[in-house]
Amino acid sequence: MKTKIVLSRKIFLAKVAALWPALKGSLSQVRKPCIRPGCPACASGQKHSAYMLSFTQDGCRRCMYVPDALAPLIYRGLRNGRSVEQLLCDMGPALIRDHRQKRASATEDRPKPAKSGTSNKKRRAKN
């Protein structure tokens, strides 16, 4: 579903505020070994499931382990982050279309130059 862009600062800020928390990166589920000696899961090669968040910081790709309890919040943050990004991407074209529309309606509202014979004043284009 395509969201309608509303060119109001107040509505835009409300939309962004509703998308809290918003973040950028990717969450993956990995399997990692633990440090317990003789761990059956590690010995079998199954290892332990863990979530990892990958993100870019100061131009470098970084990763952090995510506690299981935090994974749903991180997922929601990633989804919200994509929505915020989409809002920003949609804003440029919306501003341009709005400007064009206002310019077009201003041109329509402007009095048309008089037809020949009705007035001897010549209209000058103002720029």
Q: Which residues of this chain interact with Zn ion, rule CB under 5 A? A: 34, 39, 41-42
Q: How far apart are CA 84 and CA 114, in angstroms?
A: 50
> Minimum CB separation from Zn ion for residue 71, in Å?
20
**Coil, strand, or helix at residue 107?**
helix
**What minimum distance in Å lies between the beta carbon of 65 and Zn ion?**
14
Give min distance, CB of 34 to Zn ion, in A.
Answer: 3
Nearer to Zn ion, 40 or 117 (CB): 40
The residue (of 34 and 91) whose beta carbon lies closer to Zn ion is 34
Q: CB-based contacts of 20: which residues, under 8 Å, 6+ apart? A: 80
What residues have CB less than 8 Å from 42, skipping those under 6 apart?
33, 34, 36, 48
Whichever of 32 and 99 has its CB closer to Zn ion, that residue is 32
Residue 60 C-beta: closest distance to Zn ion, Å = 29
DSSP 5: P
**Between residues 34 and 104, which has the closer beta carbon with respect to Zn ion?**
34
Gap between the terminal Cα atoms of the chain: 41
